[in-house]
Amino acid sequence: MTEGLAIALAILVFVVVTIAKGVRLVSQGEEWVVERLGKYHTTLRPGLNILIPYLDKVAYKLVTKDIILDVQEQEVITRDNAVILTNAIAFVKVTDPVKAVYGVTDFSEAIRNLIMTTLRSIVGEMELDEALSSRDKIKARLRESIADEAVDWGLTVKSVEIQDIKPSPSMQKAMELQAAAERERKAAVTKAEGAKQAAILEAEARLESAKRDASAQVMLAEASAESIRRVSAGIGEQTTPMLYLLGEKYITALEKLGESGSSKVVIMPADLQETLRGLVGRLGVRS
């Protein structure tokens, strides 16, 4: 190889390298940040771009498509001192590449930590029941709180979703014990209410039965009195019919007494008629 050929080959290589350094093809969905002599110079858009070789350098290549940031699970203490576990996912987009690379060291890590701290702050202001049932409210407040910071870093927060929010394992166990105790309390209250109602109904039944018994006794007494009045009115001054009725009742009573299994001896008066006259005489004196 001659000296002239070597020089020509070196010049050719230099030209090829120079063209390669000066021509840049940027893909769709990307933007490149160019520095000239260590200072920001321009941002290359998708397509063909021309640089000054050896002076301009592509310092950063940024993706301008939506970026998915997974926020790791963390423990959060609510206002009523309950521990819950929560994580989130964010969708952000680089809208200003210059701020994204020069405004913060690592914008992905920065926005992820901002979401975590803001989420702890929002949930910490809520009680357990409110935090577990307010996903939409937490999401709206979270997005609103980090929007301004994200703009300063050249980012747009398109959406923040709460993936999961649940009590910690120890808190779940405590809640289960509390729920079991509440169920037992309700069962005891229901049983006590049932016993109370049963006692009330039983007392009312006894009262009604007593009232009916008293009413029946009054009616029976009134019927007996009416019967006596009618018999007295029908007999008048005559004692023979009275003796007949009393004798009949007396004999019937003696028959029942004799039929009783516990009766051994039945003593009858010697003069039944005189006995009945004595009863009539007593009735006459009482009347």
Q: Name the domain boundary from 181, 212, 243.
A: 212
Q: Is residue 130 domain-shared with residue 163, that is, in the same domain?
A: yes
Q: How far apart are CA 266 and CA 273, in angstroms?
A: 18
pLDDT tops 50 at residue 286? no
pLDDT tops 60 at residue 267? no
pLDDT tops 60 at residue 254? yes
Question: Which residues, 6+ apart, have CB-to-CB distance to 231 below 8 Å?
Answer: 242, 245
Residue with tokens 């203490």: 77
Q: Is residue 14 domain-shared with residue 98, that is, in the same domain?
A: no
263 lies in some domain: no
Judged by average pLDDT, the poorest of 98-112, 158-172, 242-256, 272-286 is 272-286
DSSP helix/strand/coil, 46: coil
Q: Name the domain boundary from 149, 180, 212.
A: 212
Which residue would you say has higher pLDDT here, 273 or 115? 115
89 lies in some domain: yes
Contact of 58 with 44, CB cutoff 8 Å: yes
244 lies in some domain: no
Residue with tokens 């959060």: 76
> How high is the pLDDT of residue 262?
60
> How high is the pLDDT of residue 159?
87
70 lies in some domain: yes
Q: Is residue 155 domain-shared with residue 174, that is, in the same domain?
A: no
Tokens read off for 133:
């049932």
What burial letters (b/e) apply to 206-219, b meaning 16+ CB within 10 Å? eeeeeeeeeeeeee
- pLDDT (average), residues 193-206: 88
Q: Is residue 174 domain-shared with residue 85, that is, in the same domain?
A: no
Mean pLDDT over all residues of the chain? Answer: 80
Residue with tokens 């006590």: 192
Q: Is residue 95 domain-shared with residue 138, that is, in the same domain?
A: yes
* 208-218 confidence digits (pLDDT tens): 888 888 888 88
Q: Is residue 103 domain-shared with residue 183, that is, in the same domain?
A: no
250 lies in some domain: no
Q: Is residue 85 domain-shared with residue 50, that is, in the same domain?
A: no
Quickly count helices (H) and strands (E) in the chain.
8, 8
Q: Is residue 89 domain-shared with residue 45, that is, in the same domain?
A: no
C-alpha distances out from residue 189 to 159, 177, 181, 183, Å: 48, 18, 12, 10
Instruction: List the domain range (segments joined by +) for residue 83.
Output: 66-167
> How high is the pLDDT of residue 148?
85
Q: Is residue 154 domain-shared with residue 182, that is, in the same domain?
A: no
When pLDDT is cut at 50, 70 and 90, the band that residue 163 belongs to is confident
Strand blocks (E) in the chain: 23-26, 30-36, 39-44, 47-50, 56-63, 67-77, 83-94, 155-167
Residue with tokens 């576990």: 85
279 lies in some domain: no
Q: Is residue 157 domain-shared with residue 78, that is, in the same domain?
A: yes
Q: What is the residue type of 26?
A: V
184 lies in some domain: yes
- pLDDT (average), residues 142-164: 88
Task: Output the CA torsion 115→120→123→129 (10° steps).
Answer: 120
Judged by average pLDDT, the poorest of 95-99, 186-190, 260-264, 282-286 is 282-286
- pLDDT (average), residues 82-105: 90
> How high is the pLDDT of residue 10?
79
The CATH number covering residue 151 comes to 3.30.479.30
> How high is the pLDDT of residue 287?
47
Question: Which residues, 6+ apart, have CB-to-CB distance to 272 below 8 Å?
Answer: 247, 250
When pLDDT is cut at 50, 70 and 90, the band that residue 285 belongs to is very low
132 lies in some domain: yes
Q: Name the domain boundary from 150, 167, 184.
A: 167
Q: Is residue 161 domain-shared with residue 173, that is, in the same domain?
A: no
When pLDDT is cut at 50, 70 and 90, the band that residue 237 belongs to is low
Residue with tokens 């913060």: 104
* 6-51 confidence digits (pLDDT tens): 777 878 887 788 887 788 888 898 999 999 988 999 999 999 888 8
Contact of 263 with 257, CB cutoff 8 Å: yes
Residue with tokens 């350094």: 21
pLDDT tops 70 at residue 56? yes
DSSP result, 157-226: EEEEEEEEEEE-HHHHHHHHHHHHHHHHHHHHHHHHHHHHHHHHHHHHHHHHHHHHHHHHHHHHHHHHHH
In the chain, % of residues over pLDDT 90: 14
Q: Is residue 53 domain-shared with residue 98, that is, in the same domain?
A: no
Q: What values do phi and psi take at 233, rounded to 5?
A: -65, -35
Q: How many domains does the chain fold into?
A: 3
